[in-house]
Amino acid sequence: MQVHKYDVVIVGAGGAGMRAAIESGQRAKTAVLTKLYPTRSHTGAAQGGMCAALANVEEDNWEWHTFDTIKGGDYLVDQDAAEVMAKEAIDAVLDLEKMGLPFNRTPEGRIDQRRFGGHTRDHGKAPVRRACYAADRTGHMILQTLYQNCVKHNVEFYNEYYVLDLLTVEEDAVREDGTPYKQKRVAGVVSYDLASGELHVFQAKSVVFASGGAGKVFKTTSNAHTLTGDGMGIAFRRGIPLEDMEFFQFHPTGLAGLGILLSEAARGEGAILRNSEGERFMERYAPTIKDLAPRDIVARSMANEVREGRGCGPNKDYVLLDLTHLEPAHIDAKLPDITEFARTYLGVEPYTEPVPVFPTAHYAMGGIPTNISAEVLQDNDTVVPGLYAAGEVACVSVHGSNRLGTNSLLDINVFGKRAGIAAAEYAKTADFVDLPVDPEAYTLDLLNHVRTSDGTEKVAAIRKELQDTMDANMQVFRTADTLNQVLTDIASFEERYQRISVQDKGKRFNLDLLEAVELGFLLELAKVMTVAALHREESRGGHFREDFPERDDEKFMKHSMAYKDEHAPADGSAEAIAGIRLATKPVVFTRYEPMVRKY
């Protein structure tokens, strides 16, 4: 085991991690630990754009953006955070441009902007052109630009170092009102070097989690194979709560059967969703902004069309994204990548044929709770000094129960930057926390258990069954029955997981072992998501309960907070299901009263 010492350690090298690194690296001794090479991160798969009220092409302001974000999130958004994000969006885009990002331009040479779902002028009157973009590869350009600037600033990367544990200590402390509590402090992280199979302990004053999402709990997903919720899982195992995990976004337009993302920018540029009768069915569900309604509404509408028998194809299980009325030259200029995906993977020519699409698991609105300075919370309001999170792994919460398109690229830039600055500033004043005795012991046990087990269960088989039940029972339509089915299934998967074995027993690049560890995180997170979904007996944003189809502000206008608690009584009460304790946290309101959400 080797021990390294840094002021700041950043876990993850996608958009949020590298944005943080650019700030932190110029202020403090910083290391970035990433299980992939930085340019492999899934930020690069984002397509459509990044919203900011630049007003380059039409009237706009950040207050409208704030409102859209809050309404889009079905009022579960913390309004102070949404305000910060919309306000700082403008500088976030300008920062990227100055770093070199090649945005598409207007005839005047300014950054061009286009329409995107849920982004409107004057509180919902009409779609507004707010998304700054680079063709349909905006995420690719952001990832490359941030990596280029990390190279420029000599950011120190540890590539293919898979972080497996967060090292914390607990101290006795007393609240202002005199009640005693355990204050967590961060000491560092434990990582596994994929190339050598060795463990490395990183002692750090500040740790920033920016490790992305957990889309691989589902079968049909736009997420990369590597998005297994490691950061969320690590934090949860170490007693950090997870907030709003029941809210998962299903992006309306995944390539049917494959889940590969086709950007909402297609609809922003004029594409139309149609059912088997050729109808523009979104006119039924969102008469004002139609195909540009927020994603939860469009995804549900599509699933409803299919359920009512108006799906297309031999199994009537998808709908169509129609671009055939757009000029091929316009498609080539604005949507080159996604049309190539349709050609490559489905053999469909989007110039002349509509493209088969169906909702695909896309984005975790929930995650590690933080305040607007990206500081991680160990309960509703107690900060863990030195611990930060940003991007999809975190829950600020700017997305509430449904994220608007483009707001994730914004989130990673605004809160990645905030996290990087805050982590470095904290490290300037703080001392190192002593490492616990045998800091690597837990991780070593975890790995040895998997490596030496001679069970008969296969990782890939359990993972597939988990993903199948999540797609069948935890997708856009949910009921108590389907959710209880998932929990029953997960209980059996957890039991089988104890008896897995891996074939690769070596140390070098043991990705077989890695997948086994990842499955552990997936099981844990799927359970948290489902328990939270079962408890939320209402429908809001991305969470739709057919047995409770209305939003219930009186009972559920609050965030859910899930804690790992082995002592939680499994007595069938909704607040404590098999090792998970659920609590709530108030939503922050500033100026917007909840209204009925119509588009």
Residues designated catalytic: 295
Please tell me whether residue 404 adopts helix, strand or coil conformation: coil
Among 171, 175, 327, 344, binds another protein (CB under 8 A): 344
Q: Which amino acid is at 126?
A: A
Binding mask 180-209 for another protein (x = CB under 8 A): ---------------x--------------
From the CB of 429, what's the least distance to another protein, in Å? 30
Of 139 and 405, which CB lies nearer to another protein in the complex structure? 139
Based on the number of CB atoms within 10 Å of its own CB, is 10 exposed (0-12), middle (13-18) or buried (19 or more)?
buried
The reply to whether 341 sits near another protein by the rule CB under 8 A is: yes
- Distance (Å, rounded) from C-alpha 491 to C-alpha 497? 10
In the block, tokens 């690049």 appear at 509
From 516, 443, 508, select the one nearest 195 (Cα to Cα): 508
CB 291 within 8 Å of CB 279 = no
Query: Quick one: 168 or 539, whose CB is closer to another protein?
Result: 539
Shortest CA distance to 20 belongs to which of 35, 36, 31? 31
Based on the number of CB atoms within 10 Å of its own CB, is 159 exposed (0-12), middle (13-18) or buried (19 or more)? middle
**215 binds another protein per the rule CB under 8 A:** no
Among 121, 507, 552, 558, binds another protein (CB under 8 A): 507
Rounded to 5°, the CA angle 183-210-1 comes to 75
Q: Is 260 in the site for another protein (CB under 8 A)?
A: yes
Near another protein in 104-123, by CB under 8 A? 104-111
Asked if residue 309 binds another protein (CB under 8 A), the reply is: no
Q: Any contact of residue 349 with another protein (CB under 8 A)?
A: no
How far is Cα 402 from Cα 294, in angstroms, rounded to an integer?
Answer: 8
Q: Which position among 504, 537, 552, 565 is part of the footprint of another protein (CB under 8 A)?
A: 504
Restricting to residues 31-60, which ones interact with another protein according to CB under 8 A? 36-37, 39-42, 44-45
Residue 479 lies near another protein (rule: CB under 8 A)? no
Binders of another protein in range 407-466 (CB under 8 A): 458-460
Cβ neighbours around 3 below 10 Å, total: 12
CA distance 511 to 517: 10
Round to the nearest angstrom and report the end-to-end CA distance of the chain: 57
Residues 351-380 that bind another protein (CB under 8 A): 353-354, 356
Please give the order of strands across the beta sheet that includes 272-274: 248-255, 355-364, 319-322, 272-274
Separation between Cα atoms, residue 238 and residue 245, nearest integer Å: 17
Q: 574, 561 in Cβ contact below 8 A? A: no
Dig out the tokens for 89 from the structure.
Answer: 């969006």
Task: Report the residue from 57, 169, 224, 578 that binds another protein according to the rule CB under 8 A.
Answer: 224
In the bound complex, what is the minimum distance in angstroms from residue 440's beta carbon to another protein?
22
> Which of the stretches 310-318, 381-389, 419-427, 521-529 binds another protein when contact is defined by CB under 8 A?
310-318
Which residue, 422 or 459, has its beta carbon nearer to another protein? Answer: 459
CB of 133 to another protein, least distance (A): 12
Contact 191, 167 (CB under 8 A): no
258 binds another protein (CB under 8 A): yes
Report d(CA 213, CA 232) in Å as an integer: 8
Are the CB atoms for 109 and 437 separated by under 8 Å? no
> Which of 67, 161, 544, 548 is in the footprint of another protein by CB under 8 A?
544
Sites for another protein among residues 265-284 (CB under 8 A): 272, 274, 276-284
Among 57, 94, 383, 480, binds another protein (CB under 8 A): 94
Q: Give the footprint of another protein on residues 143-172 (CB under 8 A).
A: 144, 148-149, 151-152
**Phi-psi label, residue 197: left if phi above 0, alpha if psi -120 to 50, beta otherwise:** left
Nearest distance from residue 127's CB to another protein, in Å? 17
- Closest approach, Cβ 114 to another protein, in A, equals 14
549 sits near another protein (criterion: CB under 8 A)? yes
* Contact with another protein (CB under 8 A) among 125, 175, 182, 225: 225
Q: Which stretch binds another protein (CB under 8 A): 184-192, 198-206, 346-354, 466-474?
A: 346-354
320 forms bridges with which residues in the sheet? 274, 356
- Contact flag: residue 346 with another protein (CB under 8 A): yes
Nearer to another protein, 103 or 415 (CB): 103
